[in-house]
Amino acid sequence: MIKRDKGMDKYKINNIYIIDCIDKREAQSKGAKSLYDDIVSKVKYVDSNVETGYFSINSKKQFLETLIAIEKKEIENKNVLVHVYLHGSEEGLFANDNKLIAWDEIKDITRKINIKTGNKLFLVLASCYGSYFESKPDLSKKAPFNSIISSRYEEKTENIYNLFENFYNSLVLEQKDIVKVYLKAKKESNFYFKNVNTIIQTIGEKNNISNSILDNLIKDYRFNE
């Protein structure tokens, strides 16, 4: 069950950025570029205020530089969706140079994006094993996202595409908030939506942390919006 942040129903995306590492072994008609060209880029016809961007990268260096470039954009207090399409593992992501992009390296930058947006970064890891990104949150630092959509398993390209084709069709054409969009698109998918409240509450339940301490942990991790 998704535990919603207060006011989550009002969250409609202002910026959509897709970071893609094209694997020539995969059918390009089922990739992130097709999602962007066929659906996401069309949002301008529905709402001209929504900014979109597609970034094709090949290396770890390019990936991290792209995240930094997004952080430098005018995204203060905006609801920003960053969609990442790379190969994944339990340790992190891989671009075409096969260099590991460790989860902590990614968090260091997405945390800055989330702080700049006012805890309004919605992160989509359209990869295998993406849920390992949030499996060990560092509560001594601020949250690296508001919410995340990811899978804990190895995923087929076609299944990933089908989920996010439905997801973006609903997000772009119907202009609903991201939670409603996810619930409509999910169906039998292994991808789950989690916000920081849910993640911290799960940790609390596993470690028998009292509700009062847990509330303070959540507040500090998220920071006041």
pLDDT tens digits, 26-46: 666 678 999 999 999 999 899
CA-wise closest residue to 38 among 54, 50, 22, 51: 54
pLDDT (average), residues 161-169: 95
What b-and-e string marks burial along 126-141, b requiring 16 or more CB atoms within 10 Å of the CB? Answer: bbbbbbbbbeebeeee
- H-state helical runs in the chain: 32-38, 60-71, 103-117, 157-174, 178-186, 196-206, 211-222
**What pLDDT was estimated at residue 206?**
73
For 123-137, the pLDDT digits (tens) are 999 999 999 999 888
- The mean pLDDT value for 175-184 works out to 86
pTM comes to: 0.89
At 197 the pLDDT is 84
Would you say residue 7 has pLDDT above 70?
Answer: no
Confidence category of residue 16, pLDDT binned at 50, 70, 90:
very high
